Amino acid sequence: MIAVILSGHGGFASGIGQAIEQIIGTQTQFKAIDFPVESTTTQLDKTMRAAVQELDSGDGIVFLTDLLGGTPFRTASLISQERDDIQVVTGTNLQMAAEMLLERDELTLNEFRDQALICGHRGITSLADEMASKAPQQQEAVEDGI
Residue 146 has pLDDT above 90, yes or no: no
Inter-residue contact 104 to 98 (CB < 8 Å): no
**Domain of 78: which CATH number?**
3.40.50.510
Backbone dihedral angles phi then psi of residue 78, each to the nearest 5 degrees: -65, -40
> What is residue 133's predicted lDDT score, i.e. its pLDDT?
86
**Whether residue 144 has pLDDT greater than 70:** no
The whole-model pTM stands at 0.89
pLDDT tens per residue, range 86-142: 999 999 999 999 999 999 999 999 999 999 999 999 999 999 998 998 876 655 555
Measured distance CA(96)–CA(115) in Å, rounded? 9
Q: How many angstroms separate the Cα of 71 from the Cα of each of 2, 13, 74, 76, 95?
A: 23, 13, 5, 8, 22
Query: Residue 104 is part of which domain span?
Result: 3-143
Q: Tally the domains of the chain.
A: 1
Report percent pLDDT > 90 for the chain. Answer: 89
Q: What is the pLDDT of residue 2?
A: 98
Q: Tell me what the pLDDT averaged over the chain comes to.
A: 93
